[in-house]
């Protein structure tokens, strides 16, 4: 991270404004498959994170975080949107590779969301062998059924302690299928402290992944997602079907060594590029 980097923040009566928000595309960041509680309506993005409702929109080159107080922004949203990381410097560090240069030109507006670690773990357990619309539906039913009512139709993500008191039968309305038993096992292990989900950011990624994989149904991909999106381990590189194919097509020799410290960010760029192009040779051109 560039220690000289800073964002231009303006606090107003109506919220917080990020002036000339470079490398921050709301649509790419909030709809790229890293989080499942955001939706767009009439040019504004609505969601719930860390037990708080939020609305964001673009005003020219600015990003407006509507209704956010200075206290909430400093305590929650600054870290959630990873606003102290210089993504321009990350792109500069990896674009010597002509493939990554082209990918970043199309997808470099993605920022990694620093989600609640338990929510990230549970969401990516739900994501297994699933598609994004269905994942969003299961997550939303989980929140509506067991979360706290935040008003205006919004609900918090239920805690591990709350879910740990339930049974597979209790989770039947979620229509989560085989994933229900994995959700329960994860909740129980987080609730009893055998998986210290809120301390995994202090561990090295390999040890943290090993800890997560003591949960039934959590393999390397889900563990890497939980660590990348919930615990700040940006060196993690989750591999799903899209990424496996994208790597075979574009990076059969692996990522260049200078991209490895930012592997998780680069993974999101590659993943979104693969979704946008379908890895179709005509759409990808010379890469």
Collapsing DSSP to helix, strand or coil, 180 comes out as: helix
Collapsing DSSP to helix, strand or coil, 46 comes out as: strand
235, 245, 253: which is closest to 270 by C-alpha?
245
- The two beta strands, 15-18 and 38-41, are unpaired
What are residue 210's phi and psi, to 5 degrees? -60, -40
Active-site entry in 136, 188, 189, 221? 221
Can you tell me the distance from the alpha carbon of 214 to that of 226, in angstroms, rounded to the nearest whole number? 14
Can you tell me the distance from the alpha carbon of 105 to that of 221, in angstroms, rounded to the nearest whole number? 27
**Terminal CA-CA length for the chain:** 28
Asked about 41 being catalytic, the answer comes back as: no
Element at 9 (helix H, strand E): strand 9-12
DSSP per residue, 94-129: HTTSHHHHHHHHHHTT-------HHHHHHHHHHTTT
Can you tell me the distance from the alpha carbon of 176 to that of 51, in angstroms, rounded to the nearest whole number? 22
Can you tell me the distance from the alpha carbon of 49 to that of 134, in angstroms, rounded to the nearest whole number? 19
Residue 170 CB coordination number (10 Å): 14
Cβ within 8 Å of residue 144, ≥6 positions away: 155
Catalytic residue ranges: 221
């Amino acid at each position: 991270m560039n220690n000289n980097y800073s964002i231009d923040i303006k606090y107003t009566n109506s919220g917080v404004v990020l002036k000339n928000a470079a490398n921050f595309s709301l649509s790419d960041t909030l709809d790229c498959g890293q989080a499942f509680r955001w939706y767009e309506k009439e040019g504004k993005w609505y969601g719930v994170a860390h037990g708080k409702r939020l609305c964001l929109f673009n005003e020219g080159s600015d990003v407006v975080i509507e209704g956010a107080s200075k206290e909430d922004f400093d305590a929650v949203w600054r870290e959630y949107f990873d606003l102290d990381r210089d993504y321009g410097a990350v792109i500069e560090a990896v674009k010597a590779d002509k493939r990554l240069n082209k990918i970043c030109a199309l997808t470099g507006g993605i920022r990694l969301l620093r989600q609640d670690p338990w929510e990230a773990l549970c969401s990516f357990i739900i994501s297994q062998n699933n598609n994004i619309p269905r994942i969003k539906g299961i997550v939303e039913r989980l929140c509506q059924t067991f979360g706290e009512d935040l008003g205006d139709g919004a609900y918090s993500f239920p805690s591990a302690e709350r879910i740990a008191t339930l049974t597979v039968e209790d989770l039947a309305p979620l229509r989560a299928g085989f994933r229900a038993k994995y959700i329960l096992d994860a909740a129980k292990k987080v609730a009893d402290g055998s998986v210290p989900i809120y301390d995994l950011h202090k561990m090295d990624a390999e040890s943290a992944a090993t800890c997560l994989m003591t949960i039934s149904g959590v393999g390397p991909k889900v563990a890497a997602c939980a660590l990348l999106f919930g615990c700040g381990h940006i060196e993690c590189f989750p591999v799903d079907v899209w990424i496996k194919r994208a790597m075979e097509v574009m990076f059969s020799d692996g990522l260049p060594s200078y991209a490895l410290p930012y592997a998780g960010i680069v993974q999101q760029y590659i993943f979104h590029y693969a979704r946008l192009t379908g890895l179709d040779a005509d759409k990808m051109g010379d890469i």
